[in-house]
Chain A
């Protein structure tokens, strides 16, 4: 047994690997970002009313995030399954929960970048406004929500990786699970924007819920990921 390999080293190796591959291939940047941006524009066409758009901006941002999540998760596992690298990870005798954490953090960072673009487009397209206090709330909300989504996406992505029909199964499994994130992140974002007269202080309770969600799936995922991707 090689005792030298620390868990932290595996986490960072997997994290750097996933981010470097994205930096090279730019699949998320060139395909998912425009897709999410298009969703925001299409909503504007469909709703066609500035007042309504301002009020529902929070929900649209998070809907677009969750739709993009499916695509990013599949991409995240495609890079490991295309040449059976996942097999090599299994046989490397490493702690698979470290692989889970590395992939989840990479996914979270990509989702964060996506949300920055989505929120910026909400400012541009929907004319939402945010106060300084609201901005703090917004940043915290994005951090907690994307962390939760990163964990849950990696967990279910691992479950469906390498099985037949994963493209359709993943949304079916993920949608009910991420419902709390959709609700909580939407309300917190609305509070930050002050949509419909919502007070900023209302948002913090929702951020609490997002934190619980992230903690639950962070712990659950660390425990369950290894057995799930094992044969």
Chain B
């Protein structure tokens, strides 16, 4: 890695079914930043986050995440980022702790980390033995966040993490993201909770119609 840049997008175009969801996005993110992506629905925020996670093909332009070129080596970036999408990525028939131990086994996290994460998200005790299908939407979101925490990713990507959480959950989330930043990670998240998000973020980027500009 020659620079401190965690994300370096240059005139990036990403196509979904012949539609340029991202149409020439140029922006950089430095290590240790907490970036807020704001912008109207359909502006391309989700696409940008998924692209940073190495999930999407870059149609044009150059894109670098954590020193990996997304054009040629998308797979390399995946084990180093954590993505929380719109969906939670949980198995409905498994309990919270079973979901957690599944995801943490895949990424090689240890038991202490798991218990801590469950605790931090307020899911310990009876809740941890409840099938995810029986949880409320906010509780599922907490569970998804907990499984993101144990990944100890270098780059955190969160798509509307505040949605569905109660006030206490939002505080927990903000605290978690700040702690992640303090331990050396970088955070990019999209949110419509502008006030709360702006106080959390170190910098804001405005996404409109598939392009990115500073606020």
Contact = CB atoms under 8 A, between A and B. Distances in A.
Given A93-B75, A231-B55, A84 B87 contact: yes
Contacts, number: 86
Contacts of B67: none
Interface residues of A, number: 27
B37 to A, nearest CB: 18
Interface in B82-123: 82-83, 85-94, 98, 102-103, 105-108
Given A1-B79, A2-B79, A17-B91, A91 B54 contact: yes
A85 to B, nearest CB: 5
Nearest to B81: A91
A21 B86 CA distance: 23
Given A5-B106, A9-B105, A13-B106, A20 B94 contact: yes
Contacts of B90: 83, 85
B36 interface: no
A87 interface: yes
B107 A5 contact: yes
Given A2-B107, A24-B93, A24-B131, A84 B85 contact: yes
Interface string A155-182: 0000000000000000000000000000
B170 interface: no
A163 to B, nearest CB: 12
A83 B55 contact: no
Contacts of B82: 91
A2 B79 CA distance: 8
Q: How large is the interface on B (under 10, 10 to 19, 20 to 34, 35 or more residues)?
A: 20 to 34
B101 to A, nearest CB: 8
Interface of A: 1-2, 4-5, 9-10, 13, 17, 20-21, 24-25, 79, 82-85, 87-94, 230-231
Contacts of A79: 91-93
B89 to A, nearest CB: 4
Given A2-B108, A9-B105, A92-B106, A85 B78 contact: no
Contact of B94 (A24, A89, A94, A230): A24
B209 interface: no
A51 B81 CA distance: 63
Interface of B: 53-57, 75, 78-83, 85-94, 98, 102-103, 105-108, 131
Contacts of A2: 79, 107-108
Contact of B56 (A1, A13, A17, A231): A231
Contacts of A1: 79-80
Contact of B78 (A10, A84, A91): A91
A36 B55 CA distance: 39
Given A20-B98, A230-B75, 17 more contacts: A2-B107, A5-B105, A5-B106, A10-B105, A13-B105, A17-B94, A20-B93, A82-B92, A88-B89, A88-B103, A89-B106, A91-B53, A91-B55, A92-B103, A93-B79, A94-B79, A231-B56
Given A83-B87, A91-B55, A92-B78, A5 B92 contact: no
Contacts of A87: 55, 83, 85, 87, 89
Contacts of A5: 105-108
A104 to B, nearest CB: 17
Contacts of B85: 84, 87-88
A80 B96 CA distance: 16
Nearest to A1: B79
A9 B102 CA distance: 10
Contact of A83 (B81, B91, B98, B103): B91
Nearest to B104: A13
14 contacts: A2-B79, A10-B106, A17-B94, A20-B98, A21-B91, A24-B131, A79-B91, A83-B90, A87-B85, A89-B106, A90-B78, A91-B83, A92-B103, A92-B107
